[in-house]
Amino acid sequence: MSSDSCPETAQHSGLLKFYSAMFYAGSSFVITVVNKTVLTSFRFPSYMCLAIGQMLATLVVLYAAKMCKRVQFQDFDRSIPLKIFPLPLLFVGNHITGLASTKKLSLPMFTVLRKFTILMTMILEVYILRKTFPKRLVYSVVTIVLGALVAASSDLAFDLEAYAFILLNDAFTAASGVYTKKKLGAEGLGKYGVLFYNALIIVIPTFLASALTGDLHKAVTFEDWVEGTFVFCFLMSCFMGFVLMYSIVLCSYYNSALTTTVVGAIKNVAVAYIGIFVGGDYLFSWTNFLGLSICMSGGLTYSYLTFIDKPPASKTEGSPQVKIET
């Protein structure tokens, strides 16, 4: 597949937008559960080494596909780092803080606090991509964040370090999503080049960091490497790391960065509901449950307005919009 032109100007069908969003939601759901199994159920000690495994899987899959002529992207040269910066830094920050927060938080609280990514993404799209949003979409986003605040207010297992990781993860995710949308228009890169060179540039520094911090030693000496179930889950997590990153890029290509973030939020609420019954680390409260339900209502409203309720162009041009003045 050849590199694509700037996605901001391309017109895509509603089905492509919807299917890419569902692909991302499904991939994100699966990897959240698999990562939680590896890091919490099996108590794997190194989320950094798990991130390295996911980066290596991305490199192997895309390089093999390029060699087999299944995909096309620019060969490496000195222009690549400039074209792709700052995505590698945002990518590794997003990856590591995401895995750390997954390990330290229960699934429901992880998904609740991830909602703040939506507000951050909307603000960054206004400032970086110069986008405007209809008031109805803004209200639905506010509803999601309000639900997150209600749910978080009942957290009976407050952990300052875990909250710091998840809020950093929100910021990295928002910036990564917006810059991914921007970089998809870079000449020669395209969807696959963005994925491949992100992983290529950061895998060695991440490996060195894991060695210096002792994470690599903990991972190598982990006692469950002889357990077939753990090895299967670890390899599944590595492969799903690639699938997730591809689904994010694909969804961002066909939709906006904000839509990609909201789709992830809806998926997260579904994970939270499942986490009530699976995982064993959820402390139930009605306040938390009410907050999750408010989040879901806001997310479904946003999805309806984005994928189903498409007013005629003339009405859209005259509809109320919100833009942050700079």
State the pLDDT confidence band at 187, using cuts at 50, 70 and 90.
Answer: low
Q: What is the mean pLDDT of residues 174-183?
A: 84
Q: Write the CA distances from 164 to 58, 81, 226, integer angstroms.
A: 28, 29, 34
Tell me, what's the pLDDT at 53? 92
Residue 117 predicted with pLDDT over 50: yes
d(CA 82, CA 99) in angstroms, rounded, equals 27
Helix (H, G, I), strand (E, B) or coil at 225: helix
pLDDT of residue 319: 45
Helices (H) and strands (E) in the chain, counts: 14, 2
* Tokens coding 33: 């559960």
The residue type of 33 is V
Within 10 Å of residue 30's Cβ, how many Cβ atoms?
Answer: 16
Pick from 71-75, 107-111, 188-192, 262-266: least confident: 107-111
* 204-252 tens-digit pLDDT: 888 998 889 888 899 999 988 988 999 999 999 999 999 988 898 888 8
Q: What gap in Å lies between CA 222 and CA 199, rounded to an integer?
A: 25
pLDDT digits (tens, 9 = 90+) for 47-101: 888 889 999 999 999 999 999 988 888 888 888 888 888 888 887 788 778 767 7
192 touches 71 (CB < 8 A)? yes
Rounded to whole angstroms, the Cα distance separating 12 from 283 reads 43
